[in-house]
Amino acid sequence: MSSRRDTAERLRRLMATEGDAVAQNTRTVNQLSDYAIQQFDDYEALRGAARSIKESAIENLPTLIDEVTEAVEANGGQVHVAQTAADANRIVERIMADREADKLVKSKSMTTEEIDVNGHLEQAGYEVVETDLGEYVIQLADEAPSHLIGPAMHRSPDDIADLFNGEFDLGEELPGDPTELTDFARERVGEHIREADVGMTGANFVVAESGTLMLVTNEGNARKTAVTPDTHVAVAGIEKLVHSLADLQPFTELIARTGTGQDITSYVSLLTPPVDTPIPDFEADEMRDAEEREFHLVLLDNGRMGMREDDDLRETLYCIRCGACSNACSNFQAVGGHGFGGETYTGGIGTGWEAGVHDLDSAGEMNDLCTGCSRCEPKCPVEIDIPWVNTVVRDRINHHEDGDDYEFLVEGLTPDEEPAGLDLQKRLFGNVEALAKVGSVAPGLSNAVAGSRPGKWVLKQVFGVDPRRDLPQFADETLREWYGARGTQVADPDRDVVLYPDVYTDYFDPERGRAAVRALEALDVRVHIPAVPESGRAPLSQGMVDTAREQAEAVHGALVTHIDDGRDVVVIEPSDLAMFRRDYDHLLPERSAERLAENCYDVMEFVYGLLDNGAEQAALDTPVDDAGVAYHSHCQQRTMGVDEYTETVLSELGYSVRTSDVECCGMAGSFGYKSEYYEVSMDVGEHLRADLGDVDDRRLLASGTSCQEQLDILYEREVPHPVELIAPR
């Protein structure tokens, strides 16, 4: 694994050299995809259908492999099942040798990137030419793809023009005009296709019942590659198999909308090879008989059967390689796939692929760039819980990697007891509740030590905390101490609730908790604030799954009696609400998770419900004159669909509300504190600032702890929680 300093320098360099192009391209595609999905009424229904199809296909993979083998052979083709990348390359090389071939042309295929078929064939003396424009560019540049569907997304038109002008003796230089560059590449690639002996494609889907391949492209090169040479080799992972032609329908509708924002891609080709079209002979200027065609389907395992038996990585096999998770990811938008990528695969889903088909070392270089913000989930056309896959991989990395020199200093553990990769940085941020309890004993001293130069030096050297960040300040009095001394102010309540005392609210920012109490009491709600453990969000974010599960069980035990007594649970911190409503599905028995999820509410969601059911709006604080607010909602609030309640309450109280379209502030809990990721965090934050613009004439609000802290820095002003604005003074 790279050192923190090396990681920071690598990401800084990528942001400087590739960041602008990646940001512009991914954000544009993400916006187009948002629009395409919003205009598509059947989106959620088709997502459910697509997932069911993939679940069934993966469940029945051995049967489908036998079925497609029979179908392809009946059509006149051959099927080869390759257990490893080396097996697949030997198969392809043997096909080349048997055909006495010299040149192979390829259409875009991440599976062939995975096995590095280009390098293998070139080493054996064969010429290999990519025909996809992006793949052609990175082949000339000798680079790896930077995106699942946009391999050259990190390059601007001017970069590509410079590459072509340097690679070819053109006489007159090409300008950085996309149309001229595309025309030039099309002509060059067309020559190679006409000269090729073998054409190689991947496959978006392979239909087991008929041996039909589905190829989805925007350039048309895949069908030319498949049918122009007399020999067609298709290399596909076994996860690409589906039962029937009818199964293709939802994917045809979804893959373009989620991946590129189109209703449908330019070319959707269904081929049942060997195709029966004549073979063009360009040298003789004639057509040869189609009976001379050969077709080989190479089905690749390379760890996929192992993933199929893995309860947590299995979902990764449902991926249809649309790249939507990358486009929706703020960190990917900042660094691209060369930063947020492993040996082959990139972006949110890439960690699962790297762990499954390569190893944990390859996954480890990229895994921490997933902050679990969950914004990729609504975009995934097959409903993969990508943050959970990344969390599981992080947990396995913790138990696999060699840690740093400090790892065994924690809690007196010996090397035999301590997970090898769980270094002190993860221990620090994963045990924030324990730190808060200790620090709050003498808050003034704790704040002075943490903010001092020696304190910051220790935090950086030992824990990797960037000194440009100030840690939150301990409050003189915790929320529970305040409430314990104060008691309830509602004698005859309409309802009773539990206000969940999250760690940040309790120990660092009790004012937002006090405001929540005042707002709820003003609406005739009696509030209870019992001692409840930290939700498990902190250890889960560091991949400490067992610790998170223990805390989830403790939280359930502390809250379930209140739920039994008819009390709802009101939550201020959105990331904790996301634990209760979503992540506990992975950590608790099904019924326990359901009970918490059904009875937990965001504080502003709960206020909205009270007002909607007749509570007196006048009891809350309302604006004086024409008060405007600028509001940034937490990313997980948006995924859960509860952000709209805050906006509605503020508007109904008379505030003029401006909201941010940018989904992530860049802080993401502990992520923005880590020295290796500070620049990435600030780059994402500056994008949010540019979106919100000048807010000098407005109150600036944010729902999440991380969002508040990031906006504090970006705007150099305090950023309260919305409940602090509406609570009676």
Per residue in 320-364, pLDDT tens? 999 999 999 999 999 999 999 999 999 999 999 999 999 999 999
* Beta strands at 78-82 and 198-201: parallel, antiparallel or unpaired: unpaired
The H helix count followed by the E strand count for the chain is 36, 19
Query: Is the per-residue pLDDT at 685 higher than 90?
Result: yes
The answer to whether residue 34 sits within a structural domain is no
Question: What are the pLDDT digits (tens) for 297-306?
Answer: 999 999 999 9
Question: What are the pLDDT digits (tens) for 140-163?
Answer: 999 999 999 999 999 999 999 999
Question: What are the pLDDT digits (tens) for 81-117?
Answer: 999 999 999 999 999 999 999 999 999 999 999 999 9
Question: What are the pLDDT digits (tens) for 616-644?
Answer: 999 998 887 778 999 999 999 999 999 99
Contact 381, 148 (CB under 8 A): no
What is the per-residue pLDDT for 478? 97
What is the per-residue pLDDT for 492? 86
The answer to whether residue 602 sits within a structural domain is yes
**How many domains does the chain divide into?**
2
Question: What are the pLDDT digits (tens) for 241-297?
Answer: 999 999 999 999 999 999 999 999 989 999 999 999 999 999 889 999 999 999 999
The answer to whether residue 45 sits within a structural domain is no
**Whole-angstrom distance, CA of residue 580 vs CA of residue 537:** 10
What is the per-residue pLDDT for 465? 97
The answer to whether residue 427 sits within a structural domain is no
Query: Is the per-residue pLDDT at 235 higher than 70?
Result: yes
Query: Which of the listed residues 304, 323, 343 is the one where a domain comes to its end?
Result: 304
Nearest to 540 by CA among 403, 431, 439, 448: 431
- Entry pTM: 0.94
What is the per-residue pLDDT for 48? 98
Question: What are the pLDDT digits (tens) for 708-719?
Answer: 999 999 999 999
What is the per-residue pLDDT for 415? 34
- Degrees (nearest 5) of the Cα angle 535, 390, 337? 135
- Please list, in sequence order, all residues whose beta carbon lies within 8 angstroms of the beta carbon of residue 209, skipping any fewer than 6 positions away: 67, 71, 243, 244, 245
Query: Which of the listed residues 244, 276, 304 is the one where a domain comes to its end?
Result: 304
What is the per-residue pLDDT for 494? 87
The answer to whether residue 318 sits within a structural domain is no
The residue type of 153 is M
**Whole-angstrom distance, CA of residue 234 vs CA of residue 614:** 64
The mean per-residue pLDDT over the stretch 475-491 comes to: 94
What is the per-residue pLDDT for 171? 86
Nearest to 223 by CA among 261, 174, 264, 275: 275
The answer to whether residue 628 sits within a structural domain is yes
What is the per-residue pLDDT for 421? 60
Query: Is the per-residue pLDDT at 411 higher than 60?
Result: no
Residue 384 buriedness (CB in 10 A; 0-12 / 13-18 / 19+) = buried
* Beta strands at 231-237 and 212-217: parallel, antiparallel or unpaired: unpaired
Tally of residues, the chain: 729
- Degrees (nearest 5) of the Cα angle 375, 31, 376? 15
The answer to whether residue 378 sits within a structural domain is no
Query: Is the per-residue pLDDT at 541 higher than 90?
Result: yes
**Whole-angstrom distance, CA of residue 250 vs CA of residue 47:** 8
What is the per-residue pLDDT for 401? 55
Q: Which residue do the tokens 């029979």 mark?
A: 70
What is the per-residue pLDDT for 717? 94
The answer to whether residue 264 sits within a structural domain is yes
Q: What domain range is 204 assigned to?
A: 51-304
Query: Which of the listed residues 287, 304, 321 is the one where a domain comes to its end?
Result: 304
Nearest to 108 by CA among 210, 28, 189: 189
What is the per-residue pLDDT for 291? 93
The residue type of 284 is A
What is the per-residue pLDDT for 668? 95
